[in-house]
Amino acid sequence: MEVVCEGLETKIIVDQDLIATHSTQIHGEIVNALKEVDDGTVVLDISKTEMMDSIGIKVVIGLMKSCQSKGLGLRLDVASANILRLFKICKLDDLLDVREVVAHG
């Protein structure tokens, strides 16, 4: 995972699937990254993530709640059609700023 700060945007780039197997590690890393952000917008870049299960959803909801309480903006950059579909079905794209992007090489 990589964290890139660009002006008021803090981009957390996830390079694995957001599934139960990796969730504890990714969750910890995102928690740590978020601690460093005080203002602006957090961008969760999951354009390299192909799969997301219910654990991944929980991480996204948790991040949303934390950003809300810290007064931060939140955006999700998504490339996977499956994840986009999941967000659409569950209407998370109504609650979050979800952007479809081209997957990074």
Partner 1 sequence: MASFNDDALLIEFVTESKEHLASIEPDLLALEKNGRSAGNDIINSVFRAIHSIKGAAGFFGLEALKSLSHVMESVLMMVRDGTLEPTSEVMDPLLVGVDKLNLMLDDIGASESVPYKDEVVHLEALMGNGGEAIPVSKNPQDKGTSQFQTSQNTFQVTRAALESASKGGHRLYIVSLVAEEDLVPQGRSILDMHQELLSVGMVLDCIFCMDDFDSLENCLDTTLSIKLLCSTVLEHDLLALSIKVDESKVLPMTVDQVMAQASSYSQTKVIVSAAEADEPDTETQETTPSNTISSDAPMPVDAPAEKTKPAQATAVKESQAKPGASSAPAHDSSAATESIRVRVDLLNRLMDLAGEMVLSRNQLIRTVDQLDGNFTGLDSITQNIDLVTSDLQEHIMQTRMQPVGSIFGKFPRIIRDMSKQLSKEIVLQTSGEDVELDKTILESLSDPLTHLIRNCCDHAIEMPDERIDHGKPATGTITLKAFHEGGQINITISDNGRGIDHEKVAKKVVSQGVMSDAEVKKLSTQEMVNLIFMPGLSTAEKVSDISGRGVGMDVVRTNIEKIGGTITIDTTLGKGTTISLRLPLTLAIIPSLIVGTCENRFAVPQVNLVELVCVKAEEIATKIEKVGTAAVLRLRGKLLPLVRLSDILELERNFTHPTSGEVLPDRRTEIADPRIDRDAVPPVLPENIDNARNNWASDYNILVLKVGDNNFGLIVDQLFDMEEIVVKPLSNFINTCKTFAGATIMGDGQVAMILDAGGILAAAKLSFSEIQAEENRINLQNNDDTQKKSQQAIILFNNAVDEVFALPLSTVLRLEKFSSQKVEQLGNREFLSYQNKSIEIFRMENHLPVRPCDISKEELFLILPKAFHGRVGIVASKIVDTLELEGPLDTVTISQPGISGSAVINDHLTVFIDPEELLRDYVPVENTQPQGLVANAY
Instruction: Tell whether residue 21 is a contact of partner 1 (CB under 8 A).
Output: no
CB 87, CB 78: distance < 8 Å = yes
Minimum distance, C-beta of residue 97 to partner 1, in the bound complex (Å): 5
CA distance 43 to 89: 22
Residue placing its CB nearer to partner 1 in the complex, 14 or 67 = 67
Distance CA 96, CA 87 (A): 9
Locus of tokens 């007064």: 71
Residue 16 in contact with partner 1, rule: CB under 8 A: no
Site size for partner 1 (CB under 8 A):
57
DSSP at 27? H
Judged by the rule CB under 8 A, the positions of this chain that interact with partner 1 are 7-9, 20, 23-24, 27, 30-31, 34, 39-41, 53-55, 57-59, 61-75, 77-78, 82, 84-102, 104
